[in-house]
């Protein structure tokens, strides 16, 4: 398991709702690489609830969309945009859970269109939500010019945060 290094951390103006560590309103996701998968461990919080003690579906979609983007960053070494996202909510997620686990991997590559499977599991390892994201990827030149993206590396082997 290797922690993925955020290539924009410390960059002026960087305030992504999904992954900027200093965005006070954001979800502050971090990512790990495990073989073909990108993984994120995230703690649900009360300010992200919809119904009482239930994680808002829109926040779940944000988490899934964000991890899909990080699959593209790490596995394809470029950036892009989500062009379609099909989400299936199967089981509510409690905002009282100690953590949830997100997992995502590439399903299919069609030139610059990448299909990414993603899922959220509760702290009992039950599948709660899944998504298929269709991602339109940019050329590495465009990613560099417009997104200031050079590459996405990993740190040395490391254990997942204690959960």
pLDDT at residue 59 greater than cutoff 60: yes
Non-local (6+) Cβ contacts of 25 within 8 A are 17
pLDDT at 132: 98
The rounded distance, in Å, linking the Cα atoms of 45 and 95 is 5
The domain locations on the chain are 2-151
pTM: 0.93
pLDDT (tens digit, 9 = 90+) per residue, 84-127? 999 999 999 999 999 999 999 999 999 999 999 999 999 999 99
Non-local (6+) Cβ contacts of 110 within 8 A are none
Give the architecture-level CATH label for domain 2-151: Roll (3.10)
């Amino acid at each position: 398991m290797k922690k993925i290094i955020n290539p924009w951390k410390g960059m002026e103006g960087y305030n992504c709702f999904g992954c900027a560590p200093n965005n006070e309103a954001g979800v502050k996701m971090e990512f790990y690489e495990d073989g073909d998968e990108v993984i994120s461990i995230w703690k649900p919080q009360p300010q992200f609830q919809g119904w009482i003690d239930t994680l808002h579906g829109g926040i779940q979609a944000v988490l899934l969309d964000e991890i899909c983007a990080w699959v593209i960053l790490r596995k394809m070494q470029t950036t892009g945009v989500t062009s379609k996202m099909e989400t299936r909510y199967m089981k509510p997620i409690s905002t009282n859970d100690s953590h949830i686990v997100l997992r995502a991997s590439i399903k299919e590559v069609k030139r610059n269109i990448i299909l990414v499977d993603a899922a959220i599991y509760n702290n009992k390892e039950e599948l709660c939500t899944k998504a298929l994201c269709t991602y339109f990827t940019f050329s590495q030149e465009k990613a560099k010019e417009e997104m200031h993206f050079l590459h996405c590396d990993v740190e040395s082997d490391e254990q997942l945060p204690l959960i």
